[in-house]
């Protein structure tokens, strides 16, 4: 059987074609899947974002999906979820900057996704309301958030149930937090000495957070009976997130050759924990679509060559493989040409050239079938990278085991609303 016959072709310009291909894909994915990942080959791929929106809409309308989680700060995502539920800020513009990290609120495709979700939820005939989550750690590329916001969420929860207890913890924790600007100094990315993550106050704060978590666990029956299981679980998760964030800040202060790899590993492990928590929230409601860079959702080890340095870590997808087993499946993405992103025609002998030679202009293909039918995959070469977009990582032969499926688009522009790329 020819590989071309295995491809599920679609055309984004045709809703009928796209929906039919999505339906076919879902029918072939193992039934136990509760979390479906969609990786992006680069940040800022317009057609891929449009495809993500079409995919999620179809999954909601026909396949029992109830939530989407994207590569944006978990705590910030709460604001977006309030908006899609018809609460919170009155307009997208008022919510977007605070509701997304990494500047993703500027992307028009994200606006279109969120507005569609809000409109869907406003229809009383849709009894299951869909939810929005961020699942990234509370970090940016050049700094990490102050733990203050996250810890105050937990303190507010405890105070509402036990005023004296909450005040006691607040008196111990608030003086240790200091100024947010000291935690969020972008200079710490390149200069560990600028980080306060190993200061005496930060060390004491980590001890207090452990005590705070112990309080939540020891009084679990009482707190659940008074606040409900959902509120309790959220507070516990926020406390755990504060622990992750303080650990991240501590590593930022280290002078070590492994510093960057450890930071990348902590971020991805936190992503996985956030997604596991999100699945627990969606239990009994429906399935979840997760959208992030290929490098976060892949099931195998990640390697990133940056100058003379090689960073290695376990991405979120590798953790999810162990946590969820067959309940997690992931679609990686590939692209042919993107002039806007400085990506030319894929060279002969590359995986991208093989994929885009199949019927299209878009197509799904099972990586298992590629391995079975393309005996020489070990000899695949790696295509050239991007001249403009540093977030583009070409596929390799290893991608055939990193992902369960691949979606390949012939052409891709740059996102509406994205920051300017180099000329």
Tell me: the pLDDT tens digits for 33-56? Answer: 999 999 999 999 999 999 999 999
DSSP-assigned beta bridge partners for residue 333: 407
| Distance (Å, whole) CA 144 – CA 165 | 29
Residue 29 pLDDT more than 70?
Answer: yes
Q: How confident is the model at residue 142 (pLDDT cuts 50, 70, 90)?
A: confident
Rounded CA gap, 391 and 386, in Å?
A: 8
Q: Using DSSP, state whether 312 is helix, strand or coil.
A: strand
Confidence of residue 376 (pLDDT cuts 50, 70, 90): low
Q: Binning pLDDT at 50, 70 and 90, where does residue 22 land?
A: very high
Kindly report the average pLDDT of the chain as a whole number. 95
**Contact indicator for 45, 335 with CB cutoff of 8 Å:** yes
Beta pairing class for 131-136 and 405-411: unpaired
The per-residue pLDDT for range 308-348, each reduced to its tens digit, is 889 999 999 999 999 999 999 999 999 999 999 999 999 99
Where in the chain are the domains? 3-140+268-411, 148-183+196-252
Alpha helices in 140-179 (DSSP H): 148-161, 163-177
Distance CA 15, CA 32 (A): 27
pLDDT at position 378 is 59
Q: How far apart are CA 128 and CA 137, in angstroms?
A: 27
Q: Are 248 and 136 in contact (CB under 8 A)?
A: no
Q: Which residue has the tokens 């790329």?
A: 421
Model confidence at 375: pLDDT above 90: no
Q: Which residues is 381 bridged to in the sheet?
A: 350
CA nearest to 267, candidates 102, 420, 416, 106: 102
Which region among 91-100, 248-257, 373-382 has the lowest average model confidence (pLDDT)?
373-382
Whether the per-residue pLDDT at 303 is higher than 70: the answer is yes
| Chain segment 79-101, per-residue pLDDT in tens | 999 999 999 889 999 999 999 99
Instruction: Band the pLDDT of 3: cuts 50, 70, 90.
Output: confident
Q: Distances from the Cα of 157 to the Cαs of 153, 182, 360, in angstroms?
A: 6, 26, 52
Whether residue 178 has pLDDT greater than 70 = yes
Q: How confident is the model at residue 249 (pLDDT cuts 50, 70, 90)?
A: very high
Token code pair at residue 246: 């303080």
Residue 186 confidence (pLDDT) above 80: yes
Lowest-pLDDT range, 99-113, 240-254, 330-344, 366-380? 366-380
Which pLDDT value is given to residue 211? 98
pTM: 0.97
Phi, psi of 34 (to 5 degrees): -110, -25
* pLDDT more than 90, % of the chain: 91
| Percent of all residues in the chain with a pLDDT value above 70, rounded to a whole number | 99
**Residues with Cβ < 8 Å from 367, sequence gap 6 or more?**
332, 399, 400, 401, 403, 404, 405, 406
∠ Cα 78 81 84 (to 5°): 155
What values do phi and psi take at 107, rounded to 5? -70, 125
Rounded CA-CA distance 305/303 in Å is 7
CATH of 3-140+268-411 given 3.40.50.11550, 3.40.50.620, 3.40.390.30, 2.40.50.140: 3.40.50.11550
Residue 374 has pLDDT above 80, yes or no: no
């Amino acid at each position: 059987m020819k590989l071309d016959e295995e491809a599920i072709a679609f055309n984004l310009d045709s809703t009928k074609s796209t929906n039919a291909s999505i339906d076919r894909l879902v029918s072939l994915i193992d039934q136990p899947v509760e979390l479906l990942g969609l990786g992006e080959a680069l940040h800022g791929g317009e057609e891929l974002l449009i495809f993500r929106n079409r995919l999620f809409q179809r999954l909601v309308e026909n396949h029992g999906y109830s939530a989407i989680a994207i590569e944006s700060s978990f705590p910030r995502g709460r604001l977006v979820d309030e908006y899609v539920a018809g609460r919170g800020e009155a307009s997208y513009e008022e919510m977007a900057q605070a509701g997304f990290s990494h500047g993703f609120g500027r992307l028009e495709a994200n606006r279109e996704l969120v507005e569609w979700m809000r409109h869907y939820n406003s229809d009383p005939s849709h009894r299951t309301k869909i939810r929005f989550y961020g699942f990234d750690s509370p970090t940016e590329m050049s700094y990490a958030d102050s733990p203050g916001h996250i810890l105050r969420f937990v303190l507010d929860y405890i105070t509402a149930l036990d005023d004296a207890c909450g005040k006691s913890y607040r008196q111990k924790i608030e003086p240790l937090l200091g100024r947010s600007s000291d935690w969020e100094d972008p200079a710490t990315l390149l200069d560990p000495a600028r980080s306060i993550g190993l200061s005496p106050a930060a060390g004491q704060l980590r001890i207090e957070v452990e005590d705070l978590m112990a309080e939540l666990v020891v009084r679990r029956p009482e707190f659940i009976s008074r606040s409900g299981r959902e509120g309790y679980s959220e507070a516990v998760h926020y406390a755990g997130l504060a622990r992750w964030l303080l650990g991240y800040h501590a590593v930022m202060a280290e002078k070590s050759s492994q510093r960057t790899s450890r930071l990348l590993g902590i971020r991805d492990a936190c992503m996985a924990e956030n997604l596991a928590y999100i699945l627990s929230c969606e239990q009994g409601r429906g399935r979840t679509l997760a959208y992030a860079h290929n490098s976060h959702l892949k099931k195998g080890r990640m390697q990133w060559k940056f100058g003379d340095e090689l960073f290695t870590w376990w991405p979120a997808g590798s953790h999810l493989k162990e946590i969820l087993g067959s309940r997690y499946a992931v679609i990686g993405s590939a692209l042919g040409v993107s002039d806007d992103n400085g990506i030319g025609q894929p060279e002969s002998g590359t995986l991208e050239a093989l994929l885009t030679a199949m019927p299209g202009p878009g197509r799904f293909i099972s990586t298992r079938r590629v391995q079975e039918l393309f005996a020489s995959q070990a000899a695949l070469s790696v295509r050239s990278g991007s001249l403009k977009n540093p977030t583009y990582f070409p596929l390799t032969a290893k991608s055939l085991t990193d992902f369960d499926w691949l979606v390949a688009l012939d052409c891709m522009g740059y996102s509406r609303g994205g920051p300017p790329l180099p000329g």
